[in-house]
Amino acid sequence: SLPQCASLAAANKRSGNLLRKATEAGEAIAAELDPALFEGEAEAALAQALSEAERDTAPLFEARDYVAGLNRLAALQAPVDTFFEAVMVMAEDPAKRANRLGLLARLQGLFLRAADISLLG
């Protein structure tokens, strides 16, 4: 098992909880991210890391090479941890909140392509 699995499973669970609560509350979740709404490096760094991970894992998951895909997702641990430490997802500004929830939706989408890793934690 990957040493990052516990951290990624925790991040997936946290993302899922935030997204579920936001959906239940009728919050908007951005389908397209707006980089102009990013505050600080953590949001931009996570968006960049997600784009790279989506690009890198697509052929791995298409080939059903889930181990390699999860290994690639493990590289998200640092930008994800930094994001959760530095960013208040449920910001007062609705546009920023929707954008941040959009980041989490992309993160969760990546995890769900490989497996429901919320079950691993």
Mean residue pLDDT of the chain comes to 90
CA nearest to 30, candidates 40, 12, 43: 43
pLDDT, one tens digit per residue, over 88-112 is 999 999 999 999 999 999 999 998 8
Exposed e or buried b per residue across 87-105, where buried means at least 16 C-beta atoms within 10 angstroms of its C-beta: bebebeeeebbbbbbbbbb
Specify the number of domains making up the chain: 1
CATH number at residue 9: 1.10.730
Structural domain of 30:
5-119
pLDDT, one tens digit per residue, over 2-31 is 566 777 888 889 999 999 999 999 999 999
Query: What pLDDT shows up at residue 120?
Result: 53
